[in-house]
């Protein structure tokens, strides 16, 4: 992604594939009209449309900021924009406002355009509009109305789905509310897919998008609730091998061949100082050979957790960093490792035991 700039302290990025859309629009308009002005007009329109999408995302981000939630960045993708909030609000009422703030921005833009067109007398009947024909601002108005309608479809991952979940969550618990909203979303997806088969293939694509979004949201919330209130110490791996910055890579190779999983915590004086990932190890072996030192290859900017942290937040960190392993320490000493695999196993065992609120490993927790 390329950085387009920063406004209100939030960086805006454009994904590389976005250029494809601009290229496609330019080409399509050239093939149809064969004039440079028409092509420039079409590209300007797509840019204006995506400016409205960016403003929509700012709606979410600035409303979230009111509740003390920061936004990492806003990225433009060919299918729309994504504002990466640091977390979703826990309070249903706040989630409702954050979800509605995006579409509300498009309502405001549409209303302003409508007022301007009315005052200036530039409005033409809606039947006379075409994808590339008719007043620029009126087409932008129609697109904003479409953005509101599309985003308010009550299905994940659309804003409407989040708003619906938030409304339900004021009456029932969060997991149940998510399940209802997700099922409804998948119902919508089926309907879209079915209608799309006979009318517009694009609807089938949206249906797929909605179906996957609903399934993801529902499993994520289920996992979050299964992990809530459990300390990291209960789920972490406590039997593992470490390497030190002064070790040669040969030592890590030995451990891998002896059956150590994936990534190694690098420890100096009992404290974690880095992580040697399997991928980095393989690359380093190829470039530098077995005699290179672990300290030259390890990652120093790694995430970690405390054994008394809650699993819910540690799991979120593990997911967001895209890393496989995070070291768990307590009082400055390495006491365990948390990996996606062992989190999955932990959840599976809890589900099998059917006692989601019992601690599985009290002894382990004491020792940690
Ligand atoms: Zn939105």
Q: Are 82 and 11 in contact (CB under 8 A)?
A: no
Please state the φ and ψ torsions of residue 219, each to the nearest 5 degrees: -75, -30
Dist. CA 98 → ligand 1 center (Å): 9
Q: How much is the mean pLDDT over the chain?
A: 81
CA of 215 to the centre of ligand 1 (A): 19
Closest CA to 154 of 107, 188, 111, 124: 188
Whole-model pTM: value is 0.65
Provide the pLDDT for residue 180. 86
**What region does 134 belong to: left with phi over 0, alpha with psi -120 to 50, or beta?**
left
Q: Report phi then psi at 244, rounded to 5.
A: -115, 160
What's the mean pLDDT in 325-353? 83
Neighbours of 196 (CB within 10 A): 17
Give me the percent of the chain exceeding a pLDDT of 90.
6
Distance 93 CA to ligand 1 centre (A): 16
**Separation of 266 CA from ligand 1 center, angstroms?**
42
Give percent of the chain with pLDDT exceeding 70. 91
Give 101 Cα–ligand 1 centroid separation in angstroms. 8
Cβ–Cβ under 8 Å, residues 309 and 330: no
Condensed to tens digits (0 to 9), the pLDDT of residues 265-290 reads: 898 888 888 888 888 888 888 888 88
The neighbouring-strand residues paired with 293 are 248
What's the CA angle centered on 1, arms 160 and 219, to 5 degrees?
40
The string of pLDDT tens digits covering residues 295-317 is 888 888 888 888 888 887 788 77
Residue pair 236/337 in contact (Cβ under 8 Å)? The answer is: yes
The Å distance, Cα 56 to ligand 1 centre, comes to 6
Distance from the alpha carbon of residue 340 to the mean position of ligand 1, in angstroms: 29
Distance from Cα 309 to the centre of ligand 1, integer Å: 31
Whole-number Å distance, alpha carbon 166 to ligand 1 midpoint, is: 14
């Amino acid at each position: 992604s390329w950085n387009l700039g920063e406004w209100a302290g939030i960086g805006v990025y454009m994904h590389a594939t976005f250029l494809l859309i601009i290229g496609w629009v330019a080409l399509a308009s050239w093939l149809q009209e064969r004039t440079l002005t028409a092509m420039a007009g079409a590209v300007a329109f797509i840019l204006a449309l995506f400016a409205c999408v960016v403003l929509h995302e700012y709606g979410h981000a600035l409303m979230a900021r009111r509740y003390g939630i920061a936004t990492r960045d806003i990225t433009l993708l060919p299918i729309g924009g994504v504002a990466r909030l640091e977390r979703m609000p826990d309070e249903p009422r706040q989630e409702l406002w954050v979800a509605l703030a995006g579409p509300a921005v498009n309502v405001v833009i549409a209303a302003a355009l409508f007022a301007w067109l009315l005052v200036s007398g530039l409005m033409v009947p809606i039947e006379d509009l075409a994808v590339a024909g008719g007043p620029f601002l009126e087409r932008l108005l129609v697109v904003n109305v479409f953005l509101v309608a599309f985003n308010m479809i009550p299905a994940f991952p659309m804003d409407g789905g989040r708003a619906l979940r938030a409304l339900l969550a004021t009456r029932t618990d969060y997991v149940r509310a998510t399940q209802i909203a997700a099922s409804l979303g998948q119902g919508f997806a089926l309907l879209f897919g079915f209608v799309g088969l006979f009318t517009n293939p694009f609807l089938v694509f949206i249906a797929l998008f909605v179906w996957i979004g609903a399934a993801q949201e529902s499993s994520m919330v289920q996992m979050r609730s299964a992990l809530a209130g459990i300390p990291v110490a209960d789920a972490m791996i406590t039997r593992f091998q470490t390497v030190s910055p002064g070790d040669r890579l040969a030592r890590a190779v030995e451990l891998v061949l002896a059956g150590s999983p994936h990534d190694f915590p690098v420890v100096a004086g009992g404290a974690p100082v880095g992580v040697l990932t399997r991928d980095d190890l393989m690359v380093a072996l190829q470039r530098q050979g077995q005699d290179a030192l672990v300290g030259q290859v390890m990652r120093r900017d790694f995430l970690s957790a405390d054994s008394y942290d809650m699993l819910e937040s540690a799991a979120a960190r593990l997911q967001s960093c895209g890393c496989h392993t995070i070291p768990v320490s307590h009082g400055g000493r390495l006491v365990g490792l948390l990996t996606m695999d062992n989190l999955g196993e932990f959840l599976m065992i809890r589900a099998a035991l059917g006692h989601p609120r019992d601690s599985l490993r009290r002894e382990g927790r004491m020792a940690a």
